[in-house]
Amino acid sequence: MLSRLALHAAGALAPALKNAAPLAPGVLQASRIFHTASPHLAPLPPLPEHGGKIRHGLIPEEFFGFMYPKTGVTGPYVLGTGLILYFLSKEIYVITADTIAAVSTLGLLVYVAKKYGPTIAAFADKLREDQLAQAEAVKQASMKGISDAIELEKKQQALVAKRHYLFDVQRNNIAMTLEVYYRERLHKVYTEVKNRLDYHIAKQTMMRRKEQEHMISWVENHVMKSISAQEEKEAITKCISDLKVLAKKAQAQSQPVL
C-alpha cells in the first residue's frame, strides 16, 4: 500500500508517469524474482560435510533446542513418554500381533545398523576415495606426461647447443677422407709415371745390350774370319812353348825349397 502511495506521489511529480497507472500492479510485483533463465548448473554450491544432528536416530536436535527454554532438558522426554502412555491407555494405539512383529523387526534393524553401520559407511567412503583417486591419477599422469615432455624439450635444446662438436668432427672426417683420396691419386700418378719411365729405361737398356752383343759377335766373327790358318797354327805353337817355359819355371821354383 505504501508503494502505491509512492507511485501516486511519483505520478504527481511527473505527469508522464500518470499513464503508468495500469502498470501499477506489475510494478508492485517488480520486487518478485521471476525465474526467466535456466539456473546456473556450475559451480554447484558445496554440500555440508555432515547432516543435521539427530538424537535417538529419529528426532532432530532442533526439537530439543526448541523445547529447552520452556521445559529444560527433560521436556521432550516427558512429552514422549506422556504421548506414548496416552495412546496406549486410551487404546488409540492397540497392542496387537503387529506390535510384537514391529518390536522384532525394528529391533533387528537397529541391531544391524549399530553393528554394521560403521563398516558399511567405511566401505562407501572407500568407494568414493577410489573414484577420487582414479581421477587424481589421471590428472597426475597427465601432469607427469607434460613435465616429462618439458624435460625432453630442455634436453634437446641443450643438445642443439652442442651440435657444433658433431659438425666439427664430421668436417674433420671429410677433410681426412679427401686428403686420403688426394694422396692415393698422387701415389697412383707417381706409379704410372714411374712405369712409363721404367719402360723407356728398360727399352733403352735392352737396345744397348742388343747392340753390345751384336757388336761383340760381329767383332768376334770378323776376328775369327781374319785369323788365317797359318796364324792360328803359329799362335798355338807359341802358346805351347810359353806353357813349357812356364812349367819349367814352376818346377824350378818348387825345387829350391828342398
Partner 1 sequence: MNENLFTPFICPSIMGVSTLPIIILFPCLIFSAPKRWLPNRMQILQIWLIRLITKQMMLMHNKLGRSWTLMLMSLILFIATTNLLGLLPYSFTPTTQLSMNLGMAIPLWMGTVVMGFRNKPKASLAHFLPQGTPTPLIPMLIIIETISLLIQPLALAVRLTANITAGHLLIHLIGSAALALMSISLALSSITFIILFLLTILEFAVALIQAYVFTLLVSLYLHDNT
Binding site for partner 1 (CB under 8 A): 44, 47, 94-108, 120-121, 123-125, 127-128, 131-132
What phi, psi does 54 have (nearest 5°)?
-130, 140
Output 136 or 184, the one with its CB closest to partner 1: 136
For the four alpha carbons of 51, 54, 58 and 61, in that order, the dihedral sign comes to negative
Output 15 or 46, the one with its CB closest to partner 1: 46
**Shortest spacing between CB 146 and partner 1, in angstroms:** 23
Output 125 or 184, the one with its CB closest to partner 1: 125
Strands in the chain per DSSP E: 54-55, 59-60
**Residue 185: strand, helix, or coil:** helix
**Shortest spacing between CB 39 and partner 1, in angstroms:** 12
Contact 71, 78 (CB under 8 A): yes
137 residue type, one letter: A
**Shortest spacing between CB 118 and partner 1, in angstroms:** 12
**Shortest spacing between CB 98 and partner 1, in angstroms:** 5
Q: Which residue has the cell 824350378?
A: 252
Output 37 or 44, the one with its CB closest to partner 1: 44
Output 132 or 166, the one with its CB closest to partner 1: 132
Three-state SS string over 5-45 comes to HHHHHHHHHCHHHHHHHHHHHHHHHHHCCCCCCCCCCCCCC
**Shortest spacing between CB 116 and partner 1, in angstroms:** 12
Sequence length of the chain is 258
